[in-house]
């Protein structure tokens, strides 16, 4: 699913922000933006579901919690990263 369509369905993101403000939104590092993609990967691995189903779950949780999708995705990715075992230098 192209990023523009995802932003339109969520009604949030840099393209929507640019339309609402009437000004271009400059992104320093766009590779860091799609945390929802990493979050979908986590949901897929935990629930053995498709990407579409994972994105739907993430979007539903965002709506149910009245929390921006990007904030929810960031929190979920950080939560998993925090639980990863630390490797000892070796």
- Report residue 28 as tokens: 């320093």
Task: Say whether pLDDT at 72 is over 70.
Answer: yes
pLDDT score of 1: 47
- Describe the crossing of helices 51-65 and 69-83 by its angle, rounded to 10 degrees: 110
pTM of the model: 0.55
pLDDT score of 86: 58
C-alpha 73/C-alpha 6 separation (Å) is: 14
What proportion of the chain, given as a percentage, has pLDDT over 90? Answer: 9
pLDDT score of 63: 92
Which sequence spans correspond to the domains of the chain? 3-83
Give mean pLDDT, residues 9-25.
79
């Amino acid at each position: 699913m192209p990023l523009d369509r995802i932003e339109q369905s969520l009604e949030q993101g840099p393209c929507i922000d640019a339309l609402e403000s009437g000004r271009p939104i400059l992104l320093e590092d766009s590779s860091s933006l799609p945390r929802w993609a990493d979050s979908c990967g986590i949901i897929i691995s935990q629930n053995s579901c498709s990407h579409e189903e994972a994105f739907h779950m993430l979007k539903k949780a965002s709506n149910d919690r009245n929390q921006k999708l990007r904030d929810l995705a960031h929190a979920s990715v950080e939560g998993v990263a925090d639980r990863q075992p630390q490797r000892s230098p070796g």
